[in-house]
Amino acid sequence: MFRLRITITQYACFVFFCLLFFSVSTLSARELVPPTLREVGVSENIGRSISLDLSFLNEKNERVLLSDYFGEEKAVIINLAYYSCPMLCHLVAQGLVTALKELPFQIGTRYDVLSVSIDPQDTVDNAAAFEKKYATQFNDDTATSYWHFLTGNPGAIETLTSDLGFRYRYNEKTKQFAHSAAIVILTPDGNISRYLYGIQYDPFDMKMGIIEAQNRRTISSIERVLLFCYNYDPQTRKYVVYAYGVMRIGGGVTLFLIVLSFLYYMKIKKRK
C-alpha cells in the first residue's frame, strides 16, 4: 500500500512538472515572436463594402478615386504591397501574374487588378516601376490598362487597409513593413468576396474567386454549376467539392432520366 502511494505521488509530480514545462515553453515561444509580428495578420471582412470615395494617385500621376475602378460587371482584385519591398511583395505580385496568365479569360474582360501601396512614402515613379515589371508580362498589350498601381496618403491607406482587414506594421530598425501575403477579390460594387493567401495561387481557386465575385447574371450556366458544386473551405483555404451540391445535381439528373424512361415506356406501350 505504501509503495502504491509513492508511485501515485511520483506520477502526480511528473504530470505537474510536465504541465509547468509546457506552460513555460509556450510563454517563451510567444515572447520570442517580435511584438511587431504579433500585430500583423488578416481579419476577413467578407461581405463588407470598402470606401470607394478614397483618393489615390495612379502610376501615371493621375488623381483617381477607388470608385473609378468599380461599377462595371467585373470583379476587382486588390493586391496590397509596398513598392520598395525587398522580397515578399515581389513574390506575391509574381505569383498573381503566374495564376492570372493561366486563366481562361484575359485580364480586363472579367476582372481588373489594383496594386495599392501601404507605404505613404512610395512615389509615382515607384508605382510605374512596379507596373513595368509585372503588368507587362501578359501577352495582351492592353493589360496595363486593367492593372493599376496606386499610391496614397496615410489616411486613405489606413482606411482601405482597415476596410480590408489587412493589419501591418512598420519596423523602424529594418525600415521595412511587416505584412501578410494575401490578395482580396471584390465584387463589382466594392464588396469583399474572397481572400486568397500565399505567394502562389492555384489558377482554379483564382478562377472560382473571380466567378464568385461577379454578378450571377453575367456568368455562364456551366459557371453556375461550378459554384453549386464547389465551396470555399476556410480550413484548407481552397475551393473544394461540395458533396451535398453534387448529390443534389446527381439526384436531379437521376430523376430526369427516370421520368424520361417512363415517358418513353408509355409511348411504346401506346403503340402496341
Q: What are 125-171's pLDDT values in tens digits?
A: 999 999 999 999 998 888 999 999 999 999 999 999 999 999 999 99
Amino acid at the residue 23: S
pTM, two decimals, is: 0.76
Go through 3-37 and write b for each residue having 16 or more CB atoms within 10 A of its CB, e for each that does not: eeeeeeeeeeeeeeeeeeeeeeeeeeeeeeeeebe
Task: List per-residue pLDDT tens for the chain, 272 residues long.
Answer: 444 455 555 544 444 444 444 444 443 434 444 565 678 999 999 999 999 999 999 999 999 999 999 998 999 999 999 999 999 999 999 999 999 999 999 999 999 999 999 999 999 999 999 999 999 999 888 899 999 999 999 999 999 999 999 999 999 988 999 999 999 999 999 999 999 999 999 999 999 999 999 976 677 777 777 777 888 888 887 888 764 344 444 444 454 455 455 455 455 656 65
Q: For residue 197, what is its C-alpha cell? A: 493567401
Query: According to the model, what pLDDT value does residue 75 have?
Result: 97
pLDDT at 269: 57
Sign of CA pseudo-dihedral 179, 180, 182, 185: negative
Which pLDDT score is estimated for 258? 53
Q: How many helices (H) and strands (E) does the chain have?
A: 8, 13
Closest CA to 74 of 23, 49, 108: 108
Cell numbers given for 251: 439526384
Q: Cell triple for residue 245? A: 451540391
Q: Which three cell numbers stand for residue 9?
A: 505521488
- Distance separating alpha carbons of residues 58 and 65, to the nearest angstrom: 10
Give the residue carrying C-alpha cell 476596410.
163
Alpha carbon distance 162, 225 (integer Å):
34
